[in-house]
Amino acid sequence: MLPYTAYLRVYQPLASFAPDERRRWEEYARSPHRPRRAHALAAEQAEVLGRLLVTPPLAAPREESRNAYLRRVEGLLYVCPWETRLRSWRAFTEFAERTPPSLSEAFVPEREAERVEEGYREWRASGAHLRPGILSSNWAVPVPWFVPFSDGERRLVASAGPTRALVYLTRTATGLERLERTGAVMTEHIGRHAVSAATERLVDWLRSVAHPGSLLELDYGGLVHLFDDARLAGERSVAEVAGAVEALAAGDAERVVELRDRLLRRWRSLRALEHAN
């Protein structure tokens, strides 16, 4: 996990877990030793960094993490397990598929690669679920991630340091309704081809991992440190995407272009930092 990474997380209601898991998460929520919410992302990143700094580095942990992100809404507990091993397996698979073996071995020794691949094969063969409840994106927030949220669900913590944060939270069912409406508007006014493959993958992921009563969170994560205070306070990409959809539905092409260009300029400038010297 890079320090400049955004996250999309699904929080499942406690009641959706099997009894044994439910009891474990209840005990976890009461534990004074678990990472508290303000520092949980830093704790997760430290765990990953520690695994990568050993010799040889571990591309995936040997056991699944027992930590989770927690939220309480209207008195109910919601849980988003870190699932670090599953996410690492999937990330390594993607890395291996797009990297020549001669180059990948410079990052991950052959024996470690074999261990990771074998562990993931056994997991798949066991019939266990293969999709984690957390997606991540380095250096930018993918545009489809803005669609499930509204500007009124925005929460900004502008203080300096590790607690600086920009987060949106909604009901997953509400987020799916917004994605479906946006797809319908784009199909009607532009054509079916206008709905990107990334949007379709997002809808498919949500339908496959989310309980009907779950919550969906967009966390800018480390990306907040790429904005100065004024730009962070004025960051309204969710509102701009929603405004562009409304303008498209109303036939206001000029407004659509204005909002689209504003959004693309902002995120293009941040993506450029990835390659900055």
| Tens digits of residue pLDDT in 194-208 | 899 999 999 999 999
Position 276 scores a pLDDT of 61
Position 270 scores a pLDDT of 81
Q: Is residue 242's pLDDT more than 80?
A: yes
CA nearest to 89, candidates 129, 54, 39, 44: 129
Q: What are phi and psi of 99, to 5 degrees?
A: -120, 130
**Which of the four pLDDT bands, split at 50, 70 and 90, describes residue 108?**
confident
Give percent of the chain with pLDDT exceeding 70.
96
Position 157 scores a pLDDT of 86
Q: Is residue 135's pLDDT more than 90?
A: yes
Question: Are the beta carbons of 37 and 217 closer than 8 angstroms?
Answer: no
Q: Is residue 277's pLDDT more than 60?
A: no
The DSSP symbol for 39 reads: H
Position 130 scores a pLDDT of 81
Q: What are phi and psi of 217, to 5 degrees?
A: -125, 130
**Which of the four pLDDT bands, split at 50, 70 and 90, describes residue 257?**
very high
Kindly give, in sequence order, each residue whose CB lies less than 8 Å from that of residue 41, ignoring residues fewer than 6 positions away.
7, 162, 219, 221, 222
Rounded-to-integer distance, Cα 99 and Cα 264, Å: 29
Q: Mean pLDDT over all residues of the chain?
A: 90
What are the tokens at 56? 């040889």
Position 54 scores a pLDDT of 79
Over residues 98-120, the mean pLDDT reads 84
What are the tokens at 83? 């699932």
Over residues 239-245, the mean pLDDT reads 97
Position 250 scores a pLDDT of 97
Question: Are the beta carbons of 182 and 245 closer than 8 angstroms?
Answer: yes
Position 179 scores a pLDDT of 98
Of 99-113, 122-136, 146-160, the range with the lowest mean pLDDT is 99-113
Question: Are the beta carbons of 238 and 150 closer than 8 angstroms?
Answer: yes
* pTM, to two decimals: 0.91
Q: How far is CA 25 from CA 34, 37, 81, 100, in A?
A: 11, 15, 9, 41
